[in-house]
Structure 1
């Protein structure tokens, strides 16, 4: 009887693996659009849970690779540290870096620092809620230049805003559902790019750019192989930009950017491999399904791939 159950599990996993492979093929063949190399809200779900709870300290080292607007390509590494104080409370800090390369040239700079606290409530009926509060602080005012020439936000390593994050997560069996808000509290953006002087229409004007808030809903389903070495986490993200962004035009008048509000839907597949109880590696692939008309913040991606290593102690 046990052997039949084991054979059923193996066959069931083979079916799931084929479905995941199909998802990967669909992702790889999506047309150019707006992916989720984001302003922060897409990646803060790491603060909700830590897979291995037997250790108090967790270090992540990762690199994100992306294809952006026009011919811009990105390499964005980051390092993150999570401290679990007890079964209820944990704290995560994260520092990002970004290198953007395109027709304007190459520009590299530290991006943002994240400070995120998470509190997990007591589990009841296989359901566990957690709450998140965090901040994002920029290392630049989003006005990096090359040879003295102003650059669009696509080449900037940060949006130049101090942002507040508020979030909650529900874990039920193999499912995670989380919701979050990202609210720009202080705008330090000093970008000075005008498309009229940029020599191209690929990027919109973003002089003294002001960005609106974002709201996110995410659903994630986790599947493990029988030996628990591999974990697959397909998930879908709904991100709604809660208003039109704006900039100051050449006449020093503030102007809304039409079509910059609205919904983006992203698909994401995370595959992790457990090297040992203390370490793991993770590959994530993301692409959009539904997009906003305009995304002047420079976060447009046709495809995003991330590679991450985690060590716990």
Structure 2
């Protein structure tokens, strides 16, 4: 299994809330009918992404897979996040991903798979600046702070991987109270113009996302190259508390975030492999109060099957 980004690309997309690397939606999936199915897999990944602001997001991800009854694949992903930028540094466990994937249809030429899963927050997105009465903006939070439902499906053969997915917050209010006011950030010496670049999203209710993955694979005996596109469309507006403590829809938060993807996989043997993926932003949404937008991401992953 390969990561995200989680988020996190934990995710690899340039505006990815995490589901693009879960179950049937994950990139660089193997397609070899001659290789026996492994009951378990463990992946360790390193992820790095550059935000639209100064924040550099890094993550180490542990990814465990288990085949159940020969039909279902359980995936558990746990990232450890480290964010560093002009405001300082935050770190901690990120959102946990759980998914169950089933091969819905198979023949010698192609497979169709379906996934049902969830994202579980590690905190309420309310990490504060040490020694200050100020909450970090979402760019610096290790969690999105919401419980999300994830569903998806994919078609895969030797040349193509096409997948579609939906991520919808169910318990969708976090507790981020970032406020770019002079009083809250008067201690910051970097200038208020930089502070205000971090979109305000007080007690943010994130909208739902739909994704598709179009991936062309060039498979050889041990090595596989792939190129693709990852469009993610936010179909409902984000909402946040306004000055009168009422929820207000945020204009500019719906729309397309599109990334170009490039990857290479190398299999040492049937048990272990290494994967490298690079994602580069083509376009993104106008407003991103969740802090998920990335200029580019890189993801290095080692997987062991047993």
Deviations 1:191-225 (A, max 9, x none): 01012344322111111111010001111111123
**Structure 1 residue 87, shift from structure 2 partner:** 4.4
Q: 2:21 maps to which residue? A: 43
Q: 2:136 maps to which residue? A: 151
Matched, 1:161 2:146: yes
- Relative to its length, the structure with more helix (as a share) is 1
CA distance in 1, matches of 2:223, 2:109: 23
Q: 2:7 maps to which residue? A: none
Q: 2:177 maps to which residue? A: 192
Q: Give the 5 Å matches for 1:289-308.
A: 289-308=282-301
1:243 to 236, 246, 260: 236
2:247 to 254, 266, 270: 254
Q: 2:9 maps to which residue? A: none
Q: Could you say what the CA RMSD is over the residues aligned between the two structures, in angstroms? A: 2.0
Query: Does the CA contact (< 8 Å) of 1:98 and 1:109 recur in 2?
Result: yes
Q: 2:3 maps to which residue? A: none
Matched, 1:119 2:102: yes
Q: 2:266 maps to which residue? A: 273
Query: Does the CA contact (< 8 Å) of 1:223 and 1:233 recur in 2?
Result: yes
Matched, 1:204 2:199: yes
Unaligned runs of 5+ in 2: 1-11, 186-191
Q: 1:11 maps to which residue? A: none
Larger of the two Rg values belongs to structure: 1
1:234 to 218, 227, 236: 227
Q: Give the 5 Å matches for 1:203-222.
A: 203-222=198-217
CA distance in 2, matches of 1:201, 1:105: 16
| Range moving further from structure 2, 82-91 or 258-267 | 82-91
Q: 2:93 maps to which residue? A: 110
Q: What TM-score does the superposition give when structure 1 sets the normalisation length?
A: 0.83
Q: 1:89 maps to which residue? A: 72
**Structure 1 residue 50, shift from structure 2 partner:** 5.5
Query: Does the CA contact (< 8 Å) of 1:36 and 1:42 recur in 2?
Result: no
Query: Does the CA contact (< 8 Å) of 1:218 and 1:236 recur in 2?
Result: yes
**Structure 1 residue 103, shift from structure 2 partner:** 1.0
Unaligned runs of 5+ in 1: 1-33
* Counterparts in 2 of 1:111 and 1:243: CA distance versus 1, 3 Å: same
**Structure 1 residue 268, shift from structure 2 partner:** 0.9
Matched, 1:128 2:108: no
Deviations 1:92-145 (A, max 9, x none): 111112111111100001111111000102324723211110011011100111
Q: Give the 5 Å matches for 1:132-143.
A: 132-143=115-126
**Structure 1 residue 162, shift from structure 2 partner:** 0.5
Query: Does the CA contact (< 8 Å) of 1:127 and 1:172 recur in 2?
Result: yes
Q: Give the 5 Å matches for 1:70-85.
A: 70-85=53-68
CA distance in 2, matches of 1:190, 1:275: 45
**Structure 1 residue 174, shift from structure 2 partner:** 1.5
Q: 2:156 maps to which residue? A: 171
Q: 1:3 maps to which residue? A: none
Q: What TM-score does the superposition give when structure 2 sets the normalisation length?
A: 0.85
**Structure 1 residue 187, shift from structure 2 partner:** 2.4
Q: 1:21 maps to which residue? A: none
CA distance in 1, matches of 2:177, 2:150: 27
* Counterparts in 2 of 1:124 and 1:177: CA distance versus 1, 3 Å: same
